Chain A
Amino acid sequence: MNVTERYRFIYKPLVFAASLIPLAWLVCGAFGWLGFDLGADPVKKLEHECGKTALNLLLLTLAVTPVRTLLHLPQLLRLRRMLGLFAFFYAVLHFTVYLVLDLELNFATLGADIAKRPYITIGFTALMLLIPLAATSTNGMMRRLGRRWQSLHRLVYVIAILGVWHFYWQVKRDVREPLVYAGILAALLLYRLVRARTTLRAAVKLTSRSGSATAPERT
């Protein structure tokens, strides 16, 4: 099997199945199958677990670039779209549980929450921003948007920050867990910042040496 086949027939199906494990666990818990159980407040459990899974997958998506560079595994890029789409899937589930099971479809409360509760405002914003990214995740859209595709998908940094912030802000007092998420996100973003600076410096050095007046196109 060549690399393409290995990804198509082994790695991608594995990642697909693994991404569904949290959902399978929650469904079993909700119906009491296989001895799983969601505790005394199943609604909160579903809501929190979907939200956290969305964040986990979002951070995994952001980890693809550093991991493939540092471990010299460029092919890993082939898994990134699936991870990102599953992050979106769990974010939608999270919102659905909140609206249907928690608020019991009270749209007036939904509107008030989004307008008045900053942590819900930023969570909702993050979800809204994910929609264009999911919608433009196809090969066709990538081709059509060309370089604008990459600019658009840099939104994921903003989304991740909003998502972690949303988690941090809704915790009553014990912020240790959201701080772990914030730390991982900070490391992932810092990696990109450092790399961007290094690329910039290299480019500047290159242009000044060659005596060219044109600035580096992009970094």
Chain B
Amino acid sequence: MRQEVQIPMHVPRIAPSEITPPEVYFNRRQLLAGALAAGVSSLAGAADEAPTGAPLNYTVNARYSVNEPPNKYEEITTYNNFYEFGTDKEDPSHNARTLPTSRWSVVVDGEAEVRGRFALEDLLKGQSLEERIYRFRCVEAWSLVVPWVGFPLSDLLARFKPTSRAKYVEFTTLYDPARMPGQRVSVLDWPYVEGLRIDEATHPLALMVVGLYGRVLPNQDGAPLRLIVPWKYGFKSIKSIVKIRFTESQPRTAWNVATPNEYGFYANVNPAVDHPRWSQATERRIGAPFLAARRPTLPFNGYAAEVASLYQGMDLRRYF
């Protein structure tokens, strides 16, 4: 087994001069240094990788952070389900490097007053970032603890002034088979689509993420803009978002379309409702000590106090 390394609970302080403002960063053409560092670290093999992205300016949000040690940067960036880059956990860390995340734009459409195409740096302008340490529970019954950097999804959605008919929000991942080799295989119906009910989307826990461990999000984790909905299975937390659409009817989401009996629209973490092929009662925490990695799964991934009221009166077995 790999050696246990003490995980720093707090991200080291970074000199203000070292920080790239997100607007500048997201406008870059290429981050050569990052690419070089990634190349070197791949030769180093098992050595622990240090975060390589540009540092971000953020504050720590303790109110929304869990008291559990976060996983290593290396674990969070080499164990990814991002089928656009291949279906093996290591595939995204190898294949996502060449994805150009500069000059990224997001199309806003549907039941909102403000629609159109927005450059990512414009969406981030003046937006203060915060770090939140969230639990992350995959539908495959493994889990991580991740220090994300981002801002409330509700802040972003409010800018577009959704109309009263906006009952749901639909998100779409980039479709680019040339750079996303996984999309050349019809494992899922590309592009990847996810969605939330509007009250879920505006819940303060729903986070738009641009960073990890205080630095710009690596491509394999969904750069440059991804969603994190910590009380739902990981597949709801869509990556590399290029489109946000407000809708009146429930979006047709990728995994739900692929296997409706296995993956519901809601996909709230629920130890009482098993996946048809495996149990959801427990999970294995990646990187946890030998023979002490399996732990009980908590309802709503431990966020029941905050979010259970969203589902009052709903049969969670039916709306899994």
Contacts and interface: CB of A to CB of B under 8 A. Distances in A.
B1 A30 contact: yes
Contacts of A101: 291
B291 A104 contact: yes
A173 interface: yes
A173 B2 contact: no
A74 interface: no
A117 to B, nearest CB: 6
A190 B78 CA distance: 41
B90 interface: yes
B279 A173 contact: no
A181 interface: no
A42 B1 contact: yes
A100 B292 CA distance: 11
Interface residues of A, number: 31
Interface in A156-170: 169-170
B258 to A, nearest CB: 7
A173 B87 contact: yes
Nearest to A31: B1
Contact of A39 (B89, B185, B188): B89
Contact of B79 (A32, A35, A36, A39): A39
Contacts of B292: 104
Nearest to A172: B140
Contacts of B286: 40-41
B293 interface: yes
Nearest to B86: A174
Interface in B216-243: none
A41 B294 contact: no
Given A40-B78, A117-B278, A173 B188 contact: yes
B62 interface: no
Contacts of B90: 39
B46 interface: yes
Contacts of A36: 46
* A interface, over-half SS: helix
B277 interface: yes
A143 B44 CA distance: 55
A112 interface: yes
Nearest to B290: A101
Contact of A109 (B2, B140, B282): B282
Contacts of B294: 102-104, 106
A37 interface: yes
Contacts of A41: 79, 89, 142, 284, 286
B106 to A, nearest CB: 27
Contact of B279 (A40, A43, A109): A109
A88 interface: no
A90 interface: no
Given A35-B45, A106-B294, A112-B279, 12 more contacts: A39-B78, A39-B79, A40-B286, A42-B2, A44-B142, A102-B284, A102-B294, A103-B294, A118-B277, A173-B187, A173-B188, A173-B258
4 closest Cβ pairs, A-B complex: A40-B79, A37-B46, A174-B87, A40-B75
27 contacts: A32-B2, A32-B46, A35-B45, A37-B2, A39-B89, A39-B90, A40-B74, A40-B75, A40-B79, A40-B89, A41-B142, A41-B286, A42-B2, A101-B291, A104-B294, A106-B294, A109-B282, A112-B279, A116-B279, A117-B277, A117-B279, A169-B277, A173-B87, A173-B187, A173-B188, A173-B259, A176-B185
